[in-house]
Structure 1
């Protein structure tokens, strides 16, 4: 497969992730990850292995409707059967009746096995104010 085809396939994974969040489809989200993927999410714990459908379903249930995720400044590097992407992401929707609008950063690593790209590592984070408050810097925008 050509580098262009690989790039197109990986970009399509991000589009499927965005659609699955909008549809609140836990199964579609989980299907894009390798079973033992290393996950460093925004929410505790510090990290875990594997994207579990029941955990994703529980989180999706905390939203009152679609979750909109927009990707900005996507940079993708592909070398053989490994790839990584960095991006700024905006997540919006209603949660507990309150409007949520959050920018976060992500690094996503992919491995191609049996002709299919899957996420093997994902790290998402928000910066925090280092002024002693330890507050997440949720008011930042690119």
Structure 2
């Protein structure tokens, strides 16, 4: 692992967080490799490739500001492959709702380095769920 590669990935993730808060779908889409596979919080179970129009439509489902935080980011680099994991916070107001929600979730992001720099090849976001029989997402957890 080189410090330069780790810094590039940390910078990419900082740009990602900023793009979320500014609803910049084009910047987000530009971070992905064409063959990205993503397991996001929103359906369906798996996304193949980045769908710019779907990303724009997703941003349009929220009123007001979007807050997005990446906490405790850890980066591991091995040659031209890297991964990161972090706890992320999303807070915003869905259209038609009277107040915002806040959600902490887990995120693992994988990268591949090519001639054009580091690109995201895989994203896996998840929330834990209560195993008390309710099968409810544990949306109240905070780090």
Residue-by-residue CA offset, 1:117-137 (whole Å, 9 max, x unaligned): 000000000001111211100
* Residue of structure 1 equivalent to 2:135: 134
- Structure 1 segment 23-38 matched on structure 2, within 5 A: 23-38=22-37
Task: Give SS of 2:100's match.
Answer: strand
Residue-by-residue CA offset, 1:93-114 (whole Å, 9 max, x unaligned): 2222421210000110000000
* Residue of structure 2 equivalent to 1:100: 101
Distance 1:66 1:39 in 2: 24
**Structure 1: which 5+ residue stretches go unaligned?**
none
**Is residue 21–residue 66 contact of structure 1 (8 Å, CA) maintained in 2?**
no
With the length of structure 2 as denominator, give the TM-score of the two structures. Answer: 0.94
CA drift of 1:65 comes to 2.6
Task: State the superposition RMSD in angstroms.
Answer: 1.2
- Structure 1 segment 27-106 matched on structure 2, within 5 A: 27-96=26-95, 97=97, 98-106=99-107
With the length of structure 1 as denominator, give the TM-score of the two structures. Answer: 0.94
Greater displacement, 108-117 / 64-73: 64-73
Task: Give SS of 2:26's match.
Answer: helix
Greater displacement, 126-135 / 101-110: 126-135
Count of residue pairs brought into register by the alignment: 141
